[in-house]
Amino acid sequence: MPDSSPPPFGVPEEALGLLFRDARSSTRWAEREVPDEVLREVHELVRWAPSANNSSPMRLVVVRSEHAREIVMEHASRGNRVKLDRAPLILVVASDPRYHEHLDVTAPGLPGLYEVLESRPDARAITAHDSTWLQTGFLIVALRAAGLDVRPMAGFDRPGLCRDLLGDRSWNAELILAVGYPAEDGEHGAGDRRGRPDWDTTTLEL
Ligand SMILES: Cc1cc2nc3c(=O)[nH]c(=O)nc-3n(C[C@H](O)[C@H](O)[C@H](O)COP(=O)(O)O)c2cc1C
């Protein structure tokens, strides 16, 4: 008898493979540039990700120049330097605890909110950090949707990278992403895929 149950997802199986099932945290990529226009299209999607009170605190540093690349290398852990060296594109994801300077876009028509947030730097730092990480998840999925492979890396000297790459900006470096198109020979360089905890381990039904 034909299966009449509706498909559980509204997107094709192929897309689920690209975004989730087959996507790996690659350490090898094709020697091909990631065009600026592609990044901008990705950003156009990601900026619609949810964030606390629409604070939208995630910031991106597109590491294009040799000088900026050298700074990232200098502050990356030894093991990560090898992988970053192979990456056609490096992104540094940062959070901006001064996100409230953009309330005209993110929360127009809420008088007094700027003053409230200005007086609460500790709360802003938490919001900026938390929502940036959520937005980063969306960023990784959007990069995958553009056909790109991404390796996130937290192994770097944060204070050093903030100081030398971001200077006087209020931004805090949170994560480095090594990005590129899949290697032509199909070798992602991420090794055998390790398991993930299942439903019973990770889910509590109350
Ligand atoms: C927050 C975070 C930090 C990570 N830090 C590093 C890192 O410093 N160096 C590295 O080589 N991989 C790093 N990874 C990559 C993980 O090891 C990888 O995503 C995980 O093993 C799953 O691999 P898979 O997507 O290929 O299954 C990081 C991933 C995340 C999400």
Residue 9, classed as helix, strand or coil, is coil
- Report all structural domains of the chain as residue ranges with CATH numbers, in order of start: 34-183 (3.40.109.10)
Find the 25 Cα to ligand 1 centroid distance in Å: 6
Find the 105 Cα to ligand 1 centroid distance in Å: 33
Looking at residue 6, its pLDDT comes to: 72
Residue 170 Cβ < 6 Å to ligand 1: no
Alpha-carbon 35 to chain mean position:
17
Locate tokens 């903030």: which residue? 162
Angle between helices 78-86 and 66-75 (to 10 degrees): 150
Among 20, 22, 25, which is best to mutate for testing ligand 1, by the most ligand atoms less than 8 A from CB?
Answer: 25
The ligand 1 atom at the shortest distance from the C-alpha of residue 83 is 11
The tens place of each residue's pLDDT in the chain, 206 residues long, gives 566 677 789 999 999 999 999 999 999 999 999 999 999 999 999 999 999 999 999 999 999 999 999 999 999 999 999 999 999 999 999 999 999 999 999 999 998 999 999 999 999 999 999 999 999 999 999 999 999 999 999 999 999 999 999 999 999 999 999 999 999 999 999 999 999 999 999 999 99
Looking at residue 88, its pLDDT comes to: 98
- With CA atoms as reference, report the closest residue to 88 among 34, 160, 145: 34
- With CA atoms as reference, report the closest residue to 143 among 62, 71, 50: 62
Looking at residue 4, its pLDDT comes to: 67
Looking at residue 7, its pLDDT comes to: 75
Look at ligand 1, atom 30, and give the residue with the nearest C-alpha: 152
First CA to last CA across the chain, in angstroms? 35
The ligand 1 atom at the shortest distance from the C-alpha of residue 155 is 8
Residue 96, classed as helix, strand or coil, is coil
Residue 190 Cβ < 6 Å to ligand 1: yes
Look at ligand 1, atom 17, and give the residue with the nearest C-alpha: 25
Looking at residue 84, its pLDDT comes to: 98
Q: Put residue 91 in one of left, alpha, beta given phi > 0 → left and psi -120 to 50 → alpha.
A: beta
Residue 159 DSSP label: H
Residue 175, classed as helix, strand or coil, is strand
Tokens of 80: 């990560």
